[in-house]
Amino acid sequence: MRSLYFITGNKGKFSEAKKKFSELNIDIVQKDFGYPEIQADSLKDVALYGVEYIQERFDKPFFLEDAGLFIDALNGFPGVYSAYIFYKISCSGILKLMDELGSNRRKACFRSVIAYKEPDREPDLFIGESYGVISKKPIGENGFGYDPIFIPEKGTKTFAQMETNEKNQFSHRGKSLNKLIDFFKNREIENFKNL
């Protein structure tokens, strides 16, 4: 079985990816490089910077992911700053900000950008989005980060009330991982054709 490295310090992200990849003959291995996350205008730029940094230090195929929560009423905040803001004010701080604003707009979107890199190949990017609303209070014990305050469209529960498989069906990461998995499946078909 082939190994594929997921460069992340986030165990929650890793277990979501591990579940998705269980359908392929690829073993996902977590590696925490503690790579620097630059302050950029887009998740894509943050991910590509991470790739630049890691490719100089690691010579095996890997992927990494940058994700963020974009809240309409806050003009897309915390967005690319999601990690820092979560560390500073967490879910309760976000809910307080929204209360202070007094707006009834609760729409938000989670975005995920996966960057896959192997030696001698440009990075491939895979994007996933999950639209939904911010709950009035934190609910649920599962998952991580902003999961207790995000209810995906067509859902009735927050991500934190879902098991990993269910979250993967709705989530930004589930969707970007689906694209990464399709990419591997298509390459296997191509390789088979070329035999």
Residues forming contacts to ligand ITT in the complex (CB under 6 A) are: 8-10, 13, 37, 65-68, 82-83, 86, 143-147, 159, 171, 173
Shorter beta-carbon distance to ligand ITT: residue 135 or 171: 171
Shorter beta-carbon distance to ligand ITT: residue 135 or 147: 147
CB 55 within 8 A of CB 117: yes
Could you identify the residue written with the tokens 């067509």?
154
Angle, helix 11-21 to helix 172-193, in steps of 10 degrees? 40
> Cα–Cα distance between 23 and 17 in angstroms, integer?
11
Shorter beta-carbon distance to ligand ITT: residue 41 or 189: 41
CB of 110 to ligand ITT, least distance (A): 6
CB 152 within 8 A of CB 133: no
CB of 109 to ligand ITT, least distance (A): 12
User: Which residue of this chain has its Cβ atom nearest to ligand ITT in the complex?
Assistant: 145
Shorter beta-carbon distance to ligand ITT: residue 75 or 104: 75
DSSP 72: G
- Burial classification of residue 166, based on how many CB atoms lie within 10 Å of its CB (0-12 exposed, 13-18 middle, 19 or more buried): middle
Q: Are strands 107-117 and 26-31 parallel, antiparallel or unpaired?
A: unpaired
CB of 1 to ligand ITT, least distance (A): 23
- Residue of 27, 66, 147, 182 marked active site: 66
CB of 41 to ligand ITT, least distance (A): 15
CB 9 within 8 A of CB 17: no
Q: Active site includes 66?
A: yes
> Cα–Cα distance between 105 and 4 in angstroms, integer?
41
Which residues carry out catalysis? Answer: 66
